[in-house]
Structure formats: C-alpha cells, structure tokens
Structure 1
Amino acid sequence: MDLDRLTLLTLGAALLCGVLAVAGVRTYAAGRARRQELIDRLAGGHGSRPATRRRFPNLDRRLRATRFGRRLELRLAATGLSLTPAEFLVAMLTAVVGLWLVAQATLAAFFGPIAAVVAVWAAFAFLNWQRQKRIEKFINQLPELSRILANATQAGLALRTALAMAAEELEAPAGEELAKVSDKLAVGHSIDDALGELADRLPSRELVVLVTTLVLANRAGGTVVGSLRNLTKTLEERKETRREVRTQLSQVVVTAYVVPFLGIGTLLLMDRIAPGAIDRMTSGFLGQAAVVAAFVLYAVGFFLIRRFSKIDV
C-alpha cells in the first residue's frame, strides 16, 4: 500500500514537473518573440515599412557594445539604410574577400591586398555618399517643411503639434526624421535637444538656421510665423542656387571618377596585350613601388578634384 502511494506520488510529481517545464518553455519562447518583435519594430522606423527579421543578431549585439559599433550605428542611421552594423560589417568583409580573390586571379597576387583596401574605402565612401544624398534630399524638403510649420503655428497650434503634423505630411527623409523628433518629444525630451540631435544627424547650414529659428522662438515664447515665412523664401532661393552650382560642376565631378578608372583600364589593357606582364612587373620591389606610387597619385588626384569642385553655397 505504501509502495502504491509512493508510486502515485512520484508519477504526480513527474507530471507536475513536466507541465511546469512545458509552461516555462512556452513563456520563455513567447518572451523572446515579443522581445524580437519590439527590436524589429524599433529598427523598422516610425511605421514606414514592415519590420524584418535581422541577420547576425549575436554579432550585432556584441558589435553595438563597442565604440566602433556605436559610431557605425550612428553613421548607418544618418544614411537611412535598413542595415544593422553587423549586416554592414559582414557585407563589407564579403566584398573585401571577393575583390581580393578577383584581383589576385585577374591581375596578380600583389593586387589582392590593394583591392581589399579599396573595398574597405569604397564601403565607407558609399555610406558618406548615401548620407550626403539624404542630406541633399532633406534640404530640398526644407522650404515645404518651413511652410507647413508656418501655416500650423499661424493656425494656433503648438510647435510640438506642428512638428508631428509635418512628420505625417512630408515624405522621407524629412517625414522619418521629424517622426524621430516627435517621438523624443513624446517621451519627455525638450525641443532644444530633439532638434539639436536632428541637426547633428543631418548637418547643413539650412537646417541649422531652421533649428535655431525654432529654438529661439520656443525659448522667447513669441510668434514664429513671420520668421518662418521669410525663411521659406530664403530656402527656396538657396535651393535654386545649389541646383545651378551642382549643374555647373557636374563635368568636374565625373572627371574625378573617370581618372582612377583610366589607370585600372590601362593595367587591364596591358595585361591583355602582353599576358603576364603585370605579374612580371610586380614580382620585384621597383615594380611594386611604382604601382603603389601610381595608385597613391591617382587617389591624390581624385581627392584634389573633389575638393576643388566642392563649393559651399
């Protein structure tokens, strides 16, 4: 009799442990799913696009804990790209390995490391280009933004409400950036801090003027309609001036990119005419030094042309 009771007690305890284990696993899985959903929703932006499951979550978590990862995350946020630091790093390393192997197989073994360095530079240059393109697009939207804020404040709306309204009416990137500002204001950040972070993400003279106007008007408590009206007209004129300058300098910008490709094309043509010539040329120290000096001169020429063609309006 005692043995039967002990058996039933053991079976009951085992059944209870099994039920608790299943409930614990389900609770843990549901918690992880909610956590991942929250991360994806925050990474997906202000409802502008559906959340996507991120790749390399463990690497991304470790990378964000480093100073390099945090800086890379800020640069990616300024570009508007839907990439995490880990995804960008893995893509860059894949491109580095691929270009290394292609250059080594196509030209010579000496060009593998050079191609890898060029790949790393090209990856970060792409981020800068994407960020600058986003800034230019945002600058083009500033006259419309200023007009919306002026109309909203003239109608008696508060500046916080006017910014939220502009975030809903404007397209990306202005809509996305103002949505971030509106979210920060909703959780207790001041207008000065929220607009200051916006100016840091997308630095430009036009945005600094607009932010300064809004901040001063908010501190002084006066009307901002007249200032925004005048600012809208000024931004429209600067927009046209920037467009004319960019059109005038388009040929110079193309030249900056054509010059380095001429050097690479010359190497490929040389190897095509005399197979193995590049391999023989880079087999000695003098040939390697000449190739490195040539690439350095091409890089210097590229940066000088880009510097001379950069005119701040």
Structure 2
Amino acid sequence: MNPLILLTLGATLLACVLLVLGLRAYAAGRAQRAALIERLTASGAPDAPGRRRRFRAVDRRLRTTALGRRIGLKLAVTGLDLTVGEFFVYMVAAVAGIWLIASSFLAPFFGPVAGLIGLWAANAFLNWQRARRTDRFVNQLPDLARILANATQAGLALRTAIGMAAEELEAPAGEELARVADRLAVGHSIEEALGEIAERLPSRELVVLVSTLVLSARAGGAIVDSLRNLTVTLEQRKETRREIRTQLSQVTVTAYLVPVLGFGSLLLVDSMMPGALDRMTGSVVGQSAVLVALGLFAVGFVLIRRLSKIDV
C-alpha cells in the first residue's frame, strides 16, 4: 500500500481518537461543574447549613444567563439566604399576583402597570437590603477599628488581627472579615482582600479604614495611633448619621406617602363610582392621563428622596 495513504489513514485515526478524548473531557468537565454548582447551592449559607434548596433546575439554568449573574451578584451583597432560582421564582409569583389583583380590583389596564411596578419593587428591595447591610457594617466599624488597634498594640500581625476581629464581631462585619481572612490564607494581598469589601459595601468610612490599613501594611508606621484616632472619628460620624436620619424621618415618610395617596385616590374613585376606572382607561386619552399621573407621582417620589438624601 502507498505510504502516503497509510500516513493519511494514521493521521485521520489519530485525529478521531483526539476528538473523542476531547469530547469526553469536555463532557466530564461540564458534569463536574454542574455537580459543584448543585452542591454549593444545596449546602446553603453559613448561617443555615443543610437547608433544602428549592427550584434547583431553574437556578442552574438561570445562573448561565446575564440576568441570573446580575441577580446573583446582588444577592451575594445583600446577605439573603436565597438562591438565584428561588428569588426569581418568588419574584415572578409576586408580580403575577400583583398583576391579577390590580386587574381585578381596579381595571385590566392597571395589570401591566402593576407588574412593572412589581419588577421595580423587587430590584428596589435588593438595593434596600444592600444599603441596610452597608449601614449595619458601617455602624460596626468603630468596634472593628478598636479591635484591630488593640490586637496590633499587643504585637499581633494585621492578618491575625483581622482573623480575630472576624471571630469576635457579629454579622455582617464578621462574615465579611471571614472572607478577607480566607483570601489572605490562600495568598491574596491585604489590598486585594480589603478592596473587595470596599466594592461590595461602598461607604466613605470603610474606604478610609481600608486606606489606613493598606498604607500601614505597605509603609509601616504608627498603625495603632492611626486606628485609635480613626475609632474616635468613626464614633462621631456614627452619631452624626443617626441624628440626621432622625431629623429626616418625616421627609422619608412623606416620600412614601405620596404614591400611597395616589393609589388611595384610585380606590376612592372606584368605590364612589363603580366602573369609573374601566371607563376612564377605555380610551387612549384616559390611559395617557393615567400614565402621566403615575409619572408625576414617580417624579415626586424621586425628588423627595433626593432632597432628603444627605451625605455625611
């Protein structure tokens, strides 16, 4: 037989063998990845180990999409004990319920509007949880700085002091510092580990603390004196934030009262004149008027919230 033919057959056979091996390796990798995701989602959060997770199939498919990744990032920051699939299913069920209730009690036109408001409310809920967790973490910063100052004054390294603070402080500071300690244990630098917290829970106080620790780790210096001075400053800022929040509580209630008054007026009109909302939304002019009114209520809510937001 011609040697060229033998060489061609041998190369073809080798290519087929490599293709089969590559497909087997690819399938094994996908199976291992799916098993790892299922094991991680089934294990639960540290505060609720072994909790049975629901909607695993939805969670696995949703995590591969851009929407699922965005929801996962927000859930990771909020600290909620929910998977992406669970939150998505609960959100869809809530939006569908709000849609049906609005269509039944008001008018069919208000169903899609209520659904959009429900989607906005779900995103606002995640943002509120993140802000709430950030505020709780900021309130723990004076205690964190005090623990780090005492530990470093006793001669402990900064990495050891961070691990000690993670054990002594409650959530969310304890959980976040535990992540930092784990990253430091596998070889990450202090700047990288602390910088991740500043990105997850952004605040001016945390940025100042992280900058102080990073600069002290780089260039050395009187870290104890810096941390003690920072502790006093954080305590003062904590009291100032509390006073401002108390003084602006009435404005905050007013911001949420504005859309409630609008919804109450719709219910009042429908109770006084049954079927008035159906007739009003039965024409293009009425629908446009309702949308303009809803837009004005939304603008009023946003403006009041902006006016009541004071950065300290």
Q: TM-score range by the shorter chain?
A: 0.7 to 0.9
Alignment of 1:117-266 (within 5 A): 117-266=116-265
Deviation at 1:62, TM superposition (A): 2.2
User: How far apart, CA to CA, are the structure 2 residues paired with 1:57 and 1:105?
Assistant: 33
d(CA) in 1 for partners of 2:37 and 2:195? 30
Give SS of 1:283's match. Answer: coil
Give CA deviations for 1:236-265 in whole Å, capped at 9, x if unaligned.
000000001101100000000001000100
Task: Report if aligned partners of 1:40, 1:53 keep a CA contact under 8 Å in 2.
Answer: no
How far, CA to CA, are the matches of 1:67 and 1:99 in structure 2? 26
Aligned-partner Cα distance in 2 for 1:62–1:38: 15
State the match for 1:278 in structure 2. Answer: 277
SS of the residue aligned with 1:311?
Answer: coil
Partner of 2:309: 310
CA distance in 1, matches of 2:70, 2:144: 29
| Unpaired stretches in structure 2, ≥5 consecutive residues | 1-31
Contact residue 42 and residue 53 of structure 2 kept, 8 A? no
1:44 match:
45
CA shift for structure 1 position 187:
1.8
Q: CA deviation at 1:222?
A: 3.2
RMSD between superposed Cα atoms in Å: 1.7
Partner of 1:128, secondary structure, is helix
**C-alpha separation between the residues in 1 aligned to 2:201 and 2:45?**
19
Give the gaps of 5 or more residues in structure 1. 1-30
- Equivalent residue for 1:20? none
Q: Does 1:294 align with 2:260?
A: no
Q: Which deviations, in whole Å up to 9, do the C-alpha atoms of 1:16-71 show, x marking residues without a partner?
A: xxxxxxxxxxxxxxx99x958851576413xx332312222222222222232222
TM-score between the two structures when normalised by the length of structure 2: 0.86
Is the 1:260–1:298 contact (alpha carbons within 8 Å) kept by the matching residues of 2?
yes
- Structure 1 residues 253, 277: CA separation in 2 closer, same or farther (over 3 Å shift)? same
Structure 2 matches for 1:8-87, cutoff 5 A? Answer: 38-40=39-41, 43-45=44-46, 48-87=47-86
Q: What's the TM-score, normalizing by structure 1? A: 0.86
| Counterpart-to-counterpart distance in 1, 2:222 and 2:229 | 13
Moved more, 162-171 or 180-189: 180-189
Matches within 5 A, 1:96-107: 96-107=95-106
Q: Residue 144 of structure 1: CA displacement?
A: 0.3
Deviations along 1:81-119, one digit per CA (max 9) or x if unpaired, are 111111111111111111111000000000000000000
* Distance in 1 (alpha carbons) for counterparts of 2:107 and 2:255: 26
Distance in 2 of aligned mates of 1:66 and 1:223: 48
